A and B are shown apart, each in its own frame.
Chain A
């Protein structure tokens, strides 16, 4: 299975820019997607196919990358962005998720 590696946690101050990385153990073309999950809630799709903003998602969120290295950027970070962010690849079967990056605000 394709393993997606994410940093466990990040801490940033409101108003700053944050980049969350996801590295795949093998190429996934551009089929990398990003989700936000707040405690007690279901995941929410933010970015699909590496760089496309999902409907209703603020333009503060953006995605980039291809192949094996991908980044989710939030600029500027707001207090409401406190959550865990998961990457997911759907190029290789089975589709797999990263372990998540917990974003905390200082």
Chain B
């Protein structure tokens, strides 16, 4: 059974660095990509970046300078780090299994992150 679960702090201050963890089960990170998708409250979905099966990464240019995605295959975990947080980074962050055709078939429940002073 494929599962993904995000974890991380719910409240951040502006300029801080966000660290989120996606723990997966039911599939191997060395055979599948995992992407991060953000959703501002009441708004649409925005792809942020993906770490692929071979360990390579792709980032959305809109956040590329602030974003880093890595993984620990032994723990089946994928990490997101984003620095210089601003209030507009507030939203729900999802990790999802990212297929090579571009689809996201399995999603985590999401973690809400609020950036506020």
Give me the interface of A with B, judged by CB distance under 8 Å: 31, 33, 35, 42-45, 48-49, 54, 86, 88-91, 93-100
Q: B110: which A residues are within 8 A, CB to CB? A: 42
Main secondary structure of the interface of B (DSSP, over half): loop
Q: B107: which A residues are within 8 A, CB to CB? A: 42-44
CB within 8 Å: A-B pair count: 53
Enumerate the 9 nearest inter-chain pairs by beta-carbon distance, A residue then B residue, closest first. Answer: A90-B102, A42-B107, A97-B45, A99-B44, A94-B60, A48-B103, A33-B103, A45-B105, A95-B47
A86-B44 contact, Cβ under 8 Å, with A33-B102, A48-B103: yes
Give me the interface of B with A, judged by CB distance under 8 Å: 43-47, 58, 60-61, 94, 96, 101-105, 107-110
B104 engages A45 (CB within 8 Å): yes
